[in-house]
Structure 1
Amino acid sequence: MQVLPPPSALSGQTQEQALRAVAEKLEATFLSEMLKSAGLGKTPEGFGGGSGEDQFSSFLREEHANAVAARGGIGLAESLFNALKGDAHG
Protein backbone atom coordinates (compact mmCIF):
# COMPACT_ATOMS: atom_id res chain seq x y z
CA MET A 1 0.00 0.00 0.00
CA GLN A 2 1.35 3.40 -0.96
CA VAL A 3 1.74 5.97 1.83
CA LEU A 4 0.79 9.47 0.80
CA PRO A 5 2.83 12.47 1.94
CA PRO A 6 1.19 15.02 4.22
CA PRO A 7 -0.81 17.63 2.30
CA SER A 8 1.65 20.38 3.26
CA ALA A 9 4.47 18.47 1.50
CA LEU A 10 2.74 18.33 -1.90
CA SER A 11 4.26 21.03 -4.09
CA GLY A 12 2.27 22.69 -6.82
CA GLN A 13 -1.06 21.86 -5.24
CA THR A 14 -3.26 23.80 -2.93
CA GLN A 15 -4.02 22.17 0.37
CA GLU A 16 -7.61 21.64 -0.78
CA GLN A 17 -6.46 19.77 -3.91
CA ALA A 18 -4.12 17.64 -1.81
CA LEU A 19 -6.89 16.80 0.67
CA ARG A 20 -9.22 15.82 -2.16
CA ALA A 21 -6.54 13.55 -3.65
CA VAL A 22 -5.95 11.89 -0.26
CA ALA A 23 -9.69 11.41 0.27
CA GLU A 24 -10.08 9.86 -3.19
CA LYS A 25 -7.15 7.50 -2.54
CA LEU A 26 -8.72 6.43 0.76
CA GLU A 27 -12.02 5.71 -1.00
CA ALA A 28 -10.21 3.70 -3.68
CA THR A 29 -8.42 1.66 -1.00
CA PHE A 30 -11.75 0.97 0.73
CA LEU A 31 -13.38 -0.03 -2.57
CA SER A 32 -10.46 -2.33 -3.38
CA GLU A 33 -10.97 -4.17 -0.10
CA MET A 34 -14.71 -4.45 -0.78
CA LEU A 35 -14.04 -5.85 -4.26
CA LYS A 36 -11.62 -8.34 -2.73
CA SER A 37 -14.30 -9.47 -0.28
CA ALA A 38 -16.74 -9.79 -3.17
CA GLY A 39 -14.33 -12.14 -4.93
CA LEU A 40 -13.22 -9.93 -7.84
CA GLY A 41 -10.02 -11.37 -9.27
CA LYS A 42 -10.38 -14.70 -7.50
CA THR A 43 -9.15 -17.59 -9.62
CA PRO A 44 -12.05 -19.91 -10.49
CA GLU A 45 -11.88 -23.47 -9.19
CA GLY A 46 -10.64 -25.94 -11.81
CA PHE A 47 -9.72 -23.34 -14.43
CA GLY A 48 -7.49 -20.30 -14.24
CA GLY A 49 -4.08 -18.83 -14.77
CA GLY A 50 -2.42 -20.34 -11.72
CA SER A 51 -0.12 -18.50 -9.36
CA GLY A 52 0.60 -15.71 -11.86
CA GLU A 53 -3.04 -14.80 -12.02
CA ASP A 54 -3.30 -14.86 -8.24
CA GLN A 55 -0.31 -12.54 -7.92
CA PHE A 56 -1.68 -9.92 -10.30
CA SER A 57 -5.34 -9.99 -9.27
CA SER A 58 -4.68 -7.30 -6.64
CA PHE A 59 -3.58 -4.92 -9.42
CA LEU A 60 -6.87 -5.55 -11.24
CA ARG A 61 -8.86 -4.80 -8.08
CA GLU A 62 -6.87 -1.62 -7.42
CA GLU A 63 -7.41 -0.33 -10.95
CA HIS A 64 -11.14 -1.06 -10.80
CA ALA A 65 -11.34 0.71 -7.43
CA ASN A 66 -9.34 3.71 -8.71
CA ALA A 67 -11.60 3.98 -11.75
CA VAL A 68 -14.76 3.90 -9.62
CA ALA A 69 -13.37 6.48 -7.17
CA ALA A 70 -12.22 8.77 -9.99
CA ARG A 71 -15.75 8.79 -11.43
CA GLY A 72 -17.40 9.85 -8.18
CA GLY A 73 -17.27 6.57 -6.31
CA ILE A 74 -19.82 5.93 -3.62
CA GLY A 75 -19.56 9.37 -2.03
CA LEU A 76 -17.05 8.33 0.59
CA ALA A 77 -14.28 10.56 -0.80
CA GLU A 78 -16.49 13.64 -0.53
CA SER A 79 -17.34 12.86 3.09
CA LEU A 80 -13.68 12.21 3.88
CA PHE A 81 -12.64 15.40 2.11
CA ASN A 82 -15.11 17.45 4.15
CA ALA A 83 -13.95 15.80 7.38
CA LEU A 84 -10.28 16.41 6.56
CA LYS A 85 -11.02 19.99 5.55
CA GLY A 86 -12.91 20.53 8.78
CA ASP A 87 -16.18 21.42 7.09
CA ALA A 88 -18.88 19.75 9.18
CA HIS A 89 -21.69 20.91 6.89
CA GLY A 90 -20.31 19.50 3.58
Structure 2
Amino acid sequence: MLKSAGFGKNANFSGGIGEEQFASFQRQALADEMVKAGGLGLADAFYQSMMEASYDK
Protein backbone atom coordinates (compact mmCIF):
# COMPACT_ATOMS: atom_id res chain seq x y z
CA MET A 1 0.00 0.00 0.00
CA LEU A 2 2.78 2.42 0.88
CA LYS A 3 4.62 1.68 -2.35
CA SER A 4 1.47 2.29 -4.39
CA ALA A 5 0.99 5.57 -2.56
CA GLY A 6 4.48 6.60 -3.62
CA PHE A 7 6.01 6.59 -0.15
CA GLY A 8 9.80 6.59 -0.34
CA LYS A 9 9.87 7.19 -4.05
CA ASN A 10 11.55 10.60 -3.86
CA ALA A 11 12.98 10.78 -0.36
CA ASN A 12 16.02 12.78 -1.57
CA PHE A 13 18.51 11.88 1.11
CA SER A 14 21.28 12.24 -1.52
CA GLY A 15 21.78 8.49 -1.49
CA GLY A 16 21.60 7.98 -5.24
CA ILE A 17 20.97 4.45 -6.45
CA GLY A 18 21.54 3.05 -2.94
CA GLU A 19 18.64 5.10 -1.66
CA GLU A 20 16.34 3.57 -4.24
CA GLN A 21 17.53 0.05 -3.39
CA PHE A 22 16.82 0.46 0.32
CA ALA A 23 13.47 2.26 -0.02
CA SER A 24 11.66 -1.08 0.34
CA PHE A 25 13.28 -1.59 3.76
CA GLN A 26 12.14 1.86 4.84
CA ARG A 27 8.59 1.16 3.66
CA GLN A 28 8.56 -2.19 5.47
CA ALA A 29 9.82 -0.63 8.72
CA LEU A 30 7.14 2.04 8.51
CA ALA A 31 4.45 -0.55 7.79
CA ASP A 32 5.58 -2.63 10.79
CA GLU A 33 5.34 0.41 13.06
CA MET A 34 1.91 1.28 11.68
CA VAL A 35 0.70 -2.23 12.52
CA LYS A 36 2.14 -1.98 16.05
CA ALA A 37 0.27 1.31 16.50
CA GLY A 38 -3.04 -0.31 15.55
CA GLY A 39 -3.14 0.40 11.83
CA LEU A 40 -5.03 3.12 10.04
CA GLY A 41 -8.56 2.10 10.89
CA LEU A 42 -9.37 1.18 7.31
CA ALA A 43 -10.89 -2.18 8.18
CA ASP A 44 -13.66 -0.55 10.21
CA ALA A 45 -14.30 2.02 7.48
CA PHE A 46 -14.53 -0.69 4.82
CA TYR A 47 -16.81 -2.81 7.00
CA GLN A 48 -19.17 0.09 7.70
CA SER A 49 -19.28 0.98 4.01
CA MET A 50 -20.10 -2.61 3.04
CA MET A 51 -22.80 -2.85 5.71
CA GLU A 52 -24.42 0.38 4.53
CA ALA A 53 -24.31 -0.80 0.92
CA SER A 54 -25.94 -4.14 1.83
CA TYR A 55 -28.81 -2.39 3.65
CA ASP A 56 -29.47 -0.11 0.67
CA LYS A 57 -30.50 -3.06 -1.50
Q: TM class, shorter-chain normalised?
A: 0.5 to 0.7
Equivalent residues in 2 for 1:2-81 (5 A)? Answer: 34-43=1-10, 48-75=14-41, 76=43
- The whole-number CA distance in structure 2 between the counterparts of 1:53 and 1:43 is 9
> In the alignment, is the contact (CA less than 8 A) between 1:43 and 1:50 conserved in 2?
no
1:72 Cα deviation after fit: 0.6
> In the alignment, is the contact (CA less than 8 A) between 1:42 and 1:54 conserved in 2?
yes
1:48 Cα deviation after fit: 4.1
- The whole-number CA distance in structure 2 between the counterparts of 1:37 and 1:51 is 20
Q: TM-score, normalised by structure 2?
A: 0.59
Of the two structures, which has the highest relative contact order with CA contacts closer than 8 Å and spacing of 6 or more? 1
Which SS does the other structure have where 1:64 is aligned? Answer: helix
The amino acid that maps onto 2:10 is: T
Which structure has the larger Rg over C-alpha atoms?
A: 2
- The whole-number CA distance in structure 2 between the counterparts of 1:60 and 1:52 is 12
Deviating 4+ runs (over 6 angstroms): none
**Stretches of structure 2 lacking an aligned partner (at least 5 in a row):** 44-57
> In the alignment, is the contact (CA less than 8 A) between 1:36 and 1:61 conserved in 2?
yes
When the two chains are superposed, the root-mean-square deviation of aligned CA atoms in Å is: 2.0
**Percent identity between the two aligned chains:** 54
